[in-house]
Structure 1
Amino acid sequence: MRIGIVTATYLPSKNGVATSTALFARGLRALGHEVRIFAPDHPQRGREEADIFRLPSTMVAAPADYPLLLPPSASVIGRLPLRDLDVIHTMHPFLAGQVALRWARSLGVPLFFTAHTQYHQYVHYTRMSRRLGRWLIRRHVRAFAGASDVVLAPGGAMVDMLRRYGYQGDVDLLPNPIDPSSFREATGHEVRAWHGIPAQAPLLIYVGRLAPEKNLPTLLAAFKEALEQIPGAHLLLVGAGLQRAHLQNLAAGWPVHFAGAVEHARVPQYLSAANAFITASTSEVLPMSMIEALAAGLPLVAARSPAAEDLVIQGENGFLCEASPAALANGIARVFQADALPALHTGALSSARAFDMTARAGQLADLYALAIAGRAAHQAA
C-alpha cells in the first residue's frame, strides 16, 4: 500500500504524537508498505528519513518545539506526491485534518483519523473564553470524526471522550506503539552521574512538557510530601516548557533535577536510570512517555486520567491515585515499600508487551486494507 500521513507535528519535535507517528511509519515500512509523511517544516530538522515532505509552517506565536502548520498553497500541493496514494491518515482534526480531508476526497481514498488528545483541555492556549472554546472544539471534533471513513483511538478512555463530544460512530482501538528493542540495552548509570544523583538513591522520573495541563506543581508537592517517608529520594524532570522557571522556584532546595529536553533516542537511557515514573496530569489519553516507562520496567504512579485508567493495573504495574499531593505521595510510598519494586518491575514489563511496534503496525495495515477494499467494493456496486 501507498500510505499518506498528514500530521501537525513530527520529528524532531519532542512529543508523543510525533514519536508514535514515526514508530508507526517504521513498522509499516518494515512490513513492505510505502509511507509518505506530510508534516510542518521544523527549524531544527537535519538529515531526514526518506519520504518526508515538509509543508510551510511558522514559529510566530507557536509553542516551543511545535511549529504551526500553514495552509499549503496550490503550488505547494502540486509538487507533492499525492496522486497514487491508497489511503490518507491524519492525527489531527484541525488544519492538518482539514488538509487531509480535502486530499482524501479529491483522490477518492479512505481517510483515517486518530483522536489522540482531550482537545478541550487545551483551550487555555487560545484567546477565547473557556466555555465557548470547549463548545466549539467538541462540535468541530465531532463533525471531523463524522467526515472520516475510519476513526481510531489509542485507548478506551479516548473512545469515551469522543462519545462525550457527541460522536456516535464506530471507533477502532489502536494503542500507540513502542520499540522494545531500544530499552533492552539501556542503562541509566551515566544519567545519574550527569545530574549528581547517587547510584542507590530512590529516583522518580517524569517525562513530558513542562506545561500547565501537566499539573506539575501538584507533582512537586507530592514529591515533597513523599520525602518524609522516603528520605534520600530524588526526582528527575525530563522535558522543556514555559513553566520551567516557575517549577524551579517551587522546588528550590529540594532534590529535584531538571534535565531539559532530550532527544527521543536518549529517553530509554533516562527512564532506565529511575525506579518509578510519576505523573499528576489528568488530561493524558495514552502518552508515549507512560508506555515507554512500562517498557523500561518502571511502575507508574499516576493521577487519575484517561491514560492512567487504561494503563495502570492497580498494585501490579503501579498505582492509580487521585490528583492530590497526599494521594500521589501515598502512591510513591507504596512503590518503595520493602520488596515491592521487583514485582512491580515485572508487571510493568509484562503490560508493555501489548504495545510492540510490529504488532501495532500490522493491526493498522489490516485496517487500511479493509477500508480500501470496502471503498473499492462500494465504487464497483
Structure 2
Amino acid sequence: MRIGMMVDSYKPYISGITNYVEVNKRFLELAGHDVFVFTFGDMDYRDGEPRVIRSPGLPLADTGFYLSLRYLRAAKQLLQTMDIVHVHHPFLSGRLALRYCRPLRIPLVYTNHTRYDLYAHAYLPMMPDEISHGLLQAYMPTFCKAVELVITPSAGMERILRQLNVDVPIEVVPNGVDLQNFHSAAPLSRKEFGYKEDDILLVYAGRIALEKNLPFLLKSFKGISQAIPNIHLLLIGGGVQQYEDEIRSLVNELKLDQRVRLTSRVSYDQLPAYLAMCNIFVTASVTEVHPLSVIEAMGAGLPIMGIDSVGVGDIVVDGSSGFLSTHDQPAFTAKLTRLCLDQDLRAQMSDSARKASSIYAIESTTGIILKHYEKLVAESRPRKSNWRTRLRGFVEQFNS
C-alpha cells in the first residue's frame, strides 16, 4: 500500500506525535509498504529518512510549527496517489485531507493524539472554558464524521471525545513503542554527570512546555529534596526558548540549581541510556492522551510517579507499575517520597513496569493499524476503481 501520514509538524521538531509517526512509518515500511509523511516546514531541512514531503509555511516563532493553508502542487498531487491517508492533526492537516482526498474517495483515518480542550486552557487562559469547549464541540464531531475511521490511543481519550459530542464509532488502539532498545539499554555513567551510585535519580523526559505542569513537579521536588539529601532530578527535553528560560529561573528561585539538571534535547537513540541511569520516572502532566514517554520509561524498568488523569492513568497501574496521585501537591509529594525511600518497592515496581510495557510493543500495535488500513482500502476500491483517475484530473482544475 501507499500510505500517507499528514502532520502539522515533523522533524527537527520533537514531540510524541513526531516519534509516533517516525516509528510507525519505519515498521510499516519493514512490512513492505510505502509510507509518505506530508507536513510543513523549512524547505532547506534535509531529512535522514526517505519520503518526507514538506510544503512551506509561516514559522510560528520557535515553536516548530508552520502556518499554511495549502500544500505545494507537487505535494498535493503525490498525496492524491495514496491508497489511504492517516491524519494526526485535525485542524490544518485535517482540513487539507478533506479538501484533497475526499473528492477522490481516498479513505481517511484520524488519530486524536492531543487534549485540545486542556491545551486551549493552557495557552489561551483569557478565553472562557465555555467558548473553547464550544468551539471544539462545533468542530470535532463534524470532522470525525467526515473521515472513515477515528482512532484514539486510550479509553480515557475516547471519553473526552464523547464529551465533545463525537458520536461516530471510535477504535482504541494504543500508541506503540519500539521497546527493544529500552529493554536492553545500558545506563550512562553516573560519574560523568556528577552523580553517585547511591543517589536517587528522578527523571522527566518530554517537551519543556507550559502544558506539562513542570512548576508543580519542581515544587514537589523541592519539598522532597529537603528531606532526602541524595535525591536529584533530571529534566530531559527542550521547548520554546522563553519557557525553558522560565523553568531555569524557577529552578534558581527554588534554590534547586545543585539538584536539578536540564539537559535540553537529546537524540532519541540516546534516550534509553539516559532512562536506564535513573531510578524513577516522574510527570505531573494532566494533558496527555497516551504518553510514549511513560511507556518508554516503563520499558527501561522505571516505576512511574504521575497524576491520575487521561493518558497516564490509562497506562500506569497504581501500586503496581508506579504510583498515581490526585492533582494535589501534598498527595503527589507524599507518594513520591514513599517511592524514593522504599528501595524494595522500587525494585518490585520496576519489574512490573517492564513487563507491563510489553503490551505496547510496536510490532503488535502496527499490526492492528495495518488491519484497519487493509479493510478500509478494500472497501474503497470498488467505488473508486472506475473513475478515480478521471475525477482526479477534474478536481485538480479547481484545487490548483
Q: Please, what TM-score do these two structures have when normalized by structure 2?
A: 0.88
Contact between 2:224 and 2:333, CA under 8 Å: does it hold in 1?
yes
What is the CA-CA distance between 1:90 and the residue it aligns to?
A: 0.4
1:8 to 2:5 alignment? no
Q: Which residue of 2 aligns with 1:352?
A: 357
Aligned residues: 376
- Whole-angstrom CA distance in 2 between matches of 1:127 and 1:230: 36
Q: Which residue of 2 aligns with 1:256?
A: 260
Q: Which amino acid aligns with 1:137?
A: L
User: What does residue range 324-343 of structure 1 map to in structure 2 within 5 Å?
Assistant: 324-336=328-340, 337-343=342-348
What is the CA-CA distance between 1:283 and the residue it aligns to?
A: 1.1
Q: Which residue of 1 aligns with 2:238?
A: 240
What is the CA-CA distance between 1:82 and the residue it aligns to?
A: 2.9
Identity of aligned residues (%): 30
What is the CA-CA distance between 1:102 and the residue it aligns to?
A: 1.9
Q: Which residue of 2 aligns with 1:365?
A: 370
Q: Which residue of 2 aligns with 1:157?
A: 156
Contact between 1:6 and 1:37, CA under 8 Å: does it hold in 2?
yes
SS at match of 1:277: strand
- Whole-angstrom CA distance in 2 between matches of 1:358 and 1:245: 39
Q: Which residue of 2 aligns with 1:226?
A: 224
RMSD after superposition: 2.1
What is the CA-CA distance between 1:194 and the residue it aligns to?
A: 4.4
Q: Which amino acid aligns with 1:104?
A: C
What is the CA-CA distance between 1:125 and the residue it aligns to?
A: 3.2
- Whole-angstrom CA distance in 1 between matches of 2:316 and 2:103: 43
SS at match of 2:372: helix
* Alignment deviations for residues 263-283 of structure 1 (CA, whole Å, 9 cap, x no partner): 222221221121111111111
User: What does residue range 1-381 of structure 1 map to in structure 2 within 5 Å?
Assistant: 1-42=1-42, 45-59=45-59, 61-64=60-63, 66-73=64-71, 75-77=73-75, 80-123=77-120, 124-126=122-124, 129-131=127-129, 132-190=131-189, 192-241=190-239, 242-252=242-252, 253-254=255-256, 255-336=259-340, 337-376=342-381
- Whole-angstrom CA distance in 1 between matches of 2:306 and 2:20: 21
Contact between 1:12 and 1:42, CA under 8 Å: does it hold in 2?
no
SS at match of 2:249: helix
Q: Which amino acid aligns with 2:105?
A: G
| Structure-2 change in CA distance of 1:114 and 1:73 (3 Å) | closer
SS at match of 1:339: helix
What is the CA-CA distance between 1:189 and the residue it aligns to?
A: 2.6
What is the CA-CA distance between 1:229 and the residue it aligns to?
A: 4.2
* Alignment deviations for residues 282-336 of structure 1 (CA, whole Å, 9 cap, x no partner): 1111111111111111111001220121011111100110122212212212323
SS at match of 1:358: helix
Contact between 1:14 and 1:264, CA under 8 Å: does it hold in 2?
no
Alignment gaps of 5+ in structure 1: none
SS at match of 2:29: helix
What is the CA-CA distance between 1:63 and the residue it aligns to?
A: 4.6
* Alignment deviations for residues 30-89 of structure 1 (CA, whole Å, 9 cap, x no partner): 111111111122478434311111121232x3453x2214122563445x4234311111
- Whole-angstrom CA distance in 1 between matches of 2:231 and 2:318: 23
Contact between 2:234 and 2:261, CA under 8 Å: does it hold in 1?
yes
- Whole-angstrom CA distance in 1 between matches of 2:325 and 2:210: 19
* Alignment deviations for residues 155-207 of structure 1 (CA, whole Å, 9 cap, x no partner): 111101100100011111111111112224423333x3443222321011111
What is the CA-CA distance between 1:261 and the residue it aligns to?
A: 1.5
Alignment gaps of 5+ in structure 2: 386-400
What is the CA-CA distance between 1:377 and the residue it aligns to?
A: 5.4
| Structure-2 change in CA distance of 1:44 and 1:86 (3 Å) | same
What is the CA-CA distance between 1:15 and the residue it aligns to?
A: 0.5
Larger Rg computed on CA atoms: 2
